[in-house]
């Protein structure tokens, strides 16, 4: 008996687990073994596993209450949490118990597991990074809460129709979500619109935020943290009974529908003003609910505002939650009645900001008109922050008018807009990029002026990934092999121990076991020939990431195959995975062209057994976990100076894929660690790419000078792939914004080296093992340790 919490400990024997499963089936699901559906079994299993974590959660919360620690709050518009069942089984130590208990009750564990739907509450790397950091925070016993939005519809489901991407709603929780704990008592009120009267801001619309939380267990420790997600609810008065009684059913609920639209979808289409305004509403909804919750938690435990920064650090995951800065000012000044100066000093000692991009167009700005209409008081506060900022700039750099203009929180031309990144830098004590190169480029390009004003504010924290999720769960076979090679599974909590695998690269038996694991993973993926090299490009579609470059290489291989099938050499399966933003037409054209090329190659008997292009639809965490273990070659081929970090590159290297890549993002650090001999480097580096972009670059002359490139582009233009993709080829010839043609020759030649290297399977396997052995640095645990020592300065609290 755990007396302090009055908890009956949950049993860990098969019989006890089975007993709990049965009682949950009866008492919580309200059904019986005879009449239970697979869904009943799934939900009951989830409850049984969740209970075990909830018991740990109770002990964690007790320890947190006792120590009143410094909290790390992570504010993020996105969380790509991945499937919950397999994770929670592993973290609760019930991976073996569960299937046995299910079978004993007559259920099929496979059928039950297939019902676990991943909450797709994010888009790409940024959302997945957030999930990896929460995992590492719990594993390191740091008191932390992740805050986000509980979107009804997550990232769309991607389907292909005639090769074109079609988006379908992702109603991920249509059956309810058994992992979630609703906490309706902690609801918050959020205002929008209205005016500023003598008493302050009077909102014109009021919405409720209702939280629920998911458990975030640490691995190999007792700690269980939470991620708290807000859902918008209409204030009760918004149902119009009078209209309903008059038969105006739609009108009766219209206010409620409008309120609840706020958390309806992740990334509403922002190609219209309405869509943009909805996004801004989402951002404010997230920060307002979360900050009120943070303030509530602080006040519950403390009485003096001066202690706020000592007890609180709030990390802004990109600019989406930047309104938290004026919102906290408003709460402190208008509601808590603090002086502006004291409030500003608290704000500036509490927030930190992570920037995830190098694309100027990805730095958010909002029209002053829209922000002022939606949040009039916040605009006032932003103006005041700006006035103080510009005074500081003027006194440090007298007479430098253009600097003042660049640094202002308000852009004047061509339209007055609020620059969220400038606000984020101004209102925080630390700003970090997500890889060494990225952080350097932030201070030397994106934020130069700010770095000159406040050099100490800028730092780097290189991204990392969860080894539990992306090695242990994704690749159980390889994990077992690693554990046997190292003699222990301690690497799952200290990934630097992987370096102990390096000597095994010279052990022929270990190498053949390693190869066998790759083949097994390929077979599990359902790819016909496990002997073919699996060449993988999995990531969001964006022109800077250059899926089009990979595609030009594929077409070149196909042309070589047609002209001389006998000399083709290495059989390859090229796999693409990823989604394009619904309104991003150029990226959608690339998707369509990939599918067309894939169909053409598949239909041509000459390619049989030698070249294949596969593009499974709806790339998500679930699919990533299947593809990554099987990959031989990892494509990280962005234009240098554009990819902030990349994290897929880390997941693939950790699973023994060898990278072909540019010197971009974290590729640079991966190459430094795995060694230049175990990495296929090509292309222009950042200064060379920038210089070429700044010069009179003519993609057409590159085309004229290279026969294979010309043949590839001519094939597209000439309609060789069902007449699809002419726009893609034309834009490369006319503009080539991301220097695809400039890097083509270097890339294709390097791919020839890749094929040559593949012929020596012993050597390839050696390289593969060394990639894993030397990638221990890329653990999210190390990332969190860096955040702790450079920014957060929070200390672990371990449950008793």
Q: Which residues are catalytic, by number? A: 356, 539-540, 545, 647, 651
- Please give the Cα distance from 51 to 221 (Å, whole number): 16
In the list 333, 630, 644, 684, the residue contacting ligand GFP (rule: CB under 6 A) is 644
The encoded tokens of residue 410 equal 């308000």
The residues near 723 (Cβ < 8 Å, ≥ 6 apart) are none
Identify which range of 226-234, 303-311, 614-622, 645-653 contacts ligand GFP by CB under 6 A: 645-653
Using alpha carbons, list the distances in angstroms from residue 685 to 269, 440, 621, 649.
34, 14, 31, 18
Across the strands, what pairs with 793?
none
Question: Residue 434 or 593: which CB sits closer to ligand GFP?
Answer: 434
Nearest to 270 by CA among 126, 370, 124: 370
Identify which range of 142-150, 439-447, 642-650, 710-718 contacts ligand GFP by CB under 6 A: 642-650
Question: Residue 172 or 541: which CB sits closer to ligand GFP?
Answer: 541
Tokens 């069942």, residue located: 85
Question: Residue 213 or 356: which CB sits closer to ligand GFP?
Answer: 356
Q: Rounded to 5 degrees, what are φ and ψ at 354?
A: -105, 125
- Please give the Cα distance from 292 to 310 (Å, whole number): 18
In the complex, minimum distance from the CB of residue 317 to ligand GFP, in angstroms, rounded to a whole number: 9
Instruction: Give residues 433-452 in contact with ligand GFP (rule: CB under 6 A).
Output: 434
In the list 120, 125, 211, 725, the residue contacting ligand GFP (rule: CB under 6 A) is 125
- Other beta carbons within 10 angstroms of residue 136's beta carbon come to 26
Q: Which segments of 434-575 does DSSP mark as H helices, in order?
A: 436-441, 448-453, 467, 476-486, 508-525, 547-563
Question: Residue 574 or 666: which CB sits closer to ligand GFP?
Answer: 666
Supply the angle between the helices 476-486 and 508-525 in degrees, to the nearest 10.
Answer: 170
The span from the first CA to the last CA of the chain, in angstroms, equals 14
Going by the DSSP 8-state scheme, the letter that residue 153 receives in this structure is B
Q: Which segments of 676-739 does DSSP mark as H helices, in order?
A: 686-694, 699-705, 707-717, 726-734
Using alpha carbons, list the distances in angstroms from residue 406 to 505, 524, 585, 753.
53, 53, 31, 46
In the complex, minimum distance from the CB of residue 678 to ligand GFP, in angstroms, rounded to a whole number: 21
Contact status: 129 vs ligand GFP (CB under 6 A): yes
Contact status: 647 vs ligand GFP (CB under 6 A): yes
Identify which range of 122-130, 201-209, 606-614, 622-630 contacts ligand GFP by CB under 6 A: 122-130
Question: Residue 122 or 163: which CB sits closer to ligand GFP?
Answer: 122
Identify which range of 323-331, 638-646, 711-719, 720-728 contacts ligand GFP by CB under 6 A: 638-646
In the complex, minimum distance from the CB of residue 620 to ligand GFP, in angstroms, rounded to a whole number: 13
Question: Residue 225 or 645: which CB sits closer to ligand GFP?
Answer: 645
CA atoms within a 13 Å half-sphere pointing along the CA-CB vector of 506: 3
In the complex, minimum distance from the CB of residue 460 to ligand GFP, in angstroms, rounded to a whole number: 12
Binding characters for ligand GFP, 654-683, by CB under 6 A (x = yes): -----------x------------------
Nearest to 519 by CA among 527, 505, 615: 527
In the complex, minimum distance from the CB of residue 124 to ligand GFP, in angstroms, rounded to a whole number: 3
In the list 88, 225, 645, 659, the residue contacting ligand GFP (rule: CB under 6 A) is 645
Question: Residue 212 or 645: which CB sits closer to ligand GFP?
Answer: 645
Tokens 């997230």, residue located: 286
Contact status: 643 vs ligand GFP (CB under 6 A): yes
Across the strands, what pairs with 168?
157
In the complex, minimum distance from the CB of residue 327 to ligand GFP, in angstroms, rounded to a whole number: 24
Using alpha carbons, list the distances in angstroms from residue 194 to 203, 227, 254, 372, 381.
4, 32, 19, 10, 16
3-state SS class at 505: helix
Question: Residue 119 or 578: which CB sits closer to ligand GFP?
Answer: 578
In the complex, minimum distance from the CB of residue 442 to ligand GFP, in angstroms, rounded to a whole number: 12
In the list 92, 432, 463, 556, the residue contacting ligand GFP (rule: CB under 6 A) is 463
Q: Is the peptide bond before 288 cis (omega within 30 degrees of 0)?
A: no
Using alpha carbons, list the distances in angstroms from residue 634 to 43, 407, 469, 613.
37, 39, 18, 15
Binding characters for ligand GFP, 352-371, by CB under 6 A (x = yes): ----xx--------------
Across the strands, what pairs with 611?
572
Judged on CB neighbours under 10 Å (0-12, 13-18, 19+), 342 is: middle
- Other beta carbons within 10 angstroms of residue 469's beta carbon come to 25
Binding characters for ligand GFP, 536-555, by CB under 6 A (x = yes): ----x---------------
Q: What angle do CA 420, 426, 427 make, to 5 degrees?
A: 90
Question: Residue 51 or 737: which CB sits closer to ligand GFP?
Answer: 737
Question: Residue 578 or 656: which CB sits closer to ligand GFP?
Answer: 578
Identify which range of 42-50, 278-286, 640-648, 698-706 contacts ligand GFP by CB under 6 A: 640-648
3-state SS class at 166: strand
Identify which range of 212-220, 515-523, 637-645, 738-746 contacts ligand GFP by CB under 6 A: 637-645
In the complex, minimum distance from the CB of residue 54 to ligand GFP, in angstroms, rounded to a whole number: 30
Contact status: 82 vs ligand GFP (CB under 6 A): no
In the complex, minimum distance from the CB of residue 130 to ligand GFP, in angstroms, rounded to a whole number: 9
Q: Rounded to 5 degrees, what are φ and ψ at 205?
A: -140, 140
Question: Residue 600 or 647: which CB sits closer to ligand GFP?
Answer: 647
Contact status: 124 vs ligand GFP (CB under 6 A): yes
In the complex, minimum distance from the CB of residue 424 to ligand GFP, in angstroms, rounded to a whole number: 15
In the complex, minimum distance from the CB of residue 643 to ligand GFP, in angstroms, rounded to a whole number: 5
Identify which range of 120-128, 173-181, 285-293, 498-506 contacts ligand GFP by CB under 6 A: 120-128
Contact status: 646 vs ligand GFP (CB under 6 A): yes
Residues that bind ligand GFP (CB under 6 A): 124-126, 129, 356-357, 434, 463, 540, 643-647, 665
């Amino acid at each position: 008996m755990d007396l302090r919490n009055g908890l009956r400990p949950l049993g860990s024997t098969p019989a006890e687990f089975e007993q709990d499963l049965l009682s949950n089936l009866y008492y919580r699901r309200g059904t019986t073994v005879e009449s239970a559906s697979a869904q009943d079994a799934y939900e009951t299993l989830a409850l049984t596993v969740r209970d075990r974590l909830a018991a740990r959660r109770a002990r964690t919360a007790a320890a947190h209450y006792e120590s009143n620690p410094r909290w790390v709050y992570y504010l993020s518009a996105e969380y790509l949490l991945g499937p919950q069942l397999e994770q929670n089984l592993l973290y609760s130590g019930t991976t073996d118990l569960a299937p046995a208990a299910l079978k004993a009750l007559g259920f099929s564990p496979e059928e039950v597991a297939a019902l676990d739907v991943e909450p797709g509450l994010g888009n790409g790397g940024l959302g997945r990074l957030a999930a990896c950091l929460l995992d590492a925070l719990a594993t390191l016993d740091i008191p932390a809460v992740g805050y986000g939005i509980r979107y009804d519809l997550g990232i769309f489901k991607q389907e292909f129709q005639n090769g074109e991407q079609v988006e379908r709603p992702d109603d991920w929780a249509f059956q309810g979500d058994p992992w979630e704990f609703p906490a309706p008592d902690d609801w918050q009120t959020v205002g929008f619109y209205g005016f500023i009267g003598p008493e302050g801001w009077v909102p014109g619309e009021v919405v409720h935020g209702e939280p629920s939380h998911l458990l975030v267990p640490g691995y190999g420790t007792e700690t269980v943290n939470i991620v708290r997600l807000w859902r918008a609810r209409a204030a009760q008065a918004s149902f119009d009974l009078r209209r309903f009684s008059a038969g105006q059913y739609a009108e009766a609920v219209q206010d409620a529908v409008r309120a609840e639209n706020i958390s309806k979808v992740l990334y509403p289409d922002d190609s219209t003003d309405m869509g943009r305004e909805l996004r801004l509403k989402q951002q404010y909804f997230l920060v307002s609910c979360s900050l009120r919750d943070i303030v509530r938690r602080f006040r519950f435990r403390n009485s003096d505002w001066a202690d706020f920064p000592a007890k609180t650090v709030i990390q802004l995951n990109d600019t989406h939650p930047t309104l938290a800065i004026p919102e906290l000012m408003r709460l402190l000044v208008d509601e808590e009645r603090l002086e502006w100066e004291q409030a500003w000093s608290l704000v500036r000692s509490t927030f930190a900001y992570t920037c995830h991009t190098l694309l100027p167009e990805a730095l958010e700005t909002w029209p002053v008109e829209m922000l002022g209409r939606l949040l009039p008081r916040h605009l006032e506060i932003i103006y005041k922050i700006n006035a103080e900022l510009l005074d500081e700039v003027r006194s440090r750099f007298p007479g430098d008018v253009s600097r003042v203009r660049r640094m202002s929180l308000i852009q004047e031309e061509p339209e007055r807009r609020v620059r969220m990144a400038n606000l984020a830098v101004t209102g925080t004590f630390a700003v970090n990029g997500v890889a060494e190169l990225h952080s350097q480029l932030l201070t030397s390009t994106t934020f130069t002026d700010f770095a000159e004003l406040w050099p100490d504010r800028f730092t780097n924290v290189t991204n990392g990934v969860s080894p539990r999720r992306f090695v242990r769960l994704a690749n159980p076979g390889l994990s077992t092999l690693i554990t046997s090679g190292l003699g222990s599974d301690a690497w799952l909590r200290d990934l630097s121990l992987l370096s102990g695998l390096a000597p095994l690269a010279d052990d022929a038996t270990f190498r053949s076991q390693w190869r066998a694991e790759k083949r097994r993973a390929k077979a599990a993926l359902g790819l016909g020939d496990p002997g073919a090299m699996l060449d993988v490009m999995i990531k969001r579609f964006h022109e800077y990431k250059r899926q089009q470059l990979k595609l030009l290489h594929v077409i070149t291989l196909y042309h070589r195959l047609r002209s001389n099938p006998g000399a083709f050499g290495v059989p390859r399966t090229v796999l693409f995975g990823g989604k394009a933003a619904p309104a991003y037409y150029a990226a959608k054209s690339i998707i369509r062209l990939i599918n067309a090329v894939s169909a053409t190659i598949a239909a041509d008997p000459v390619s049989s057994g030698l070249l294949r292009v596969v593009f499974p639809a709806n790339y998500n965490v679930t699919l990533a976990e299947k593809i990554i273990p099987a990959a031989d070659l990892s494509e990280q081929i962005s234009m240098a100076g554009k990819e902030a970090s990349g994290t897929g590159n880390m997941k693939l290297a950790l699973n023994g894929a060898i990278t072909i890549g540019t010197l971009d993002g974290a590729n640079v650090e991966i190459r430094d660690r795995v060694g230049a001999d175990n990495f296929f480097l090509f292309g222009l580096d950042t200064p060379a790419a920038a210089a070429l972009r700044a010069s009179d670059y003519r993609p057409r002359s590159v085309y004229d000078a290279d026969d294979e490139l010309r043949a590839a582009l001519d094939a597209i233009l000439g309609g060789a792939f069902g007449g699809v993709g002419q726009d893609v080829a034309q834009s490369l010839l006319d503009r080539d914004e991301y220097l695809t043609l400039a890097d083509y020759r270097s890339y294709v030649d390097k791919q020839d080296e890749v094929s040559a290297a593949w012929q020596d399977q012993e050597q390839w396997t050696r390289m593969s093992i060394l990639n894993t052995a030397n990638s221990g640095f890329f653990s999210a645990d190390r990332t969190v340790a860096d955040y702790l020592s450079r920014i957060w300065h929070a200390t672990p609290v371990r449950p008793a």
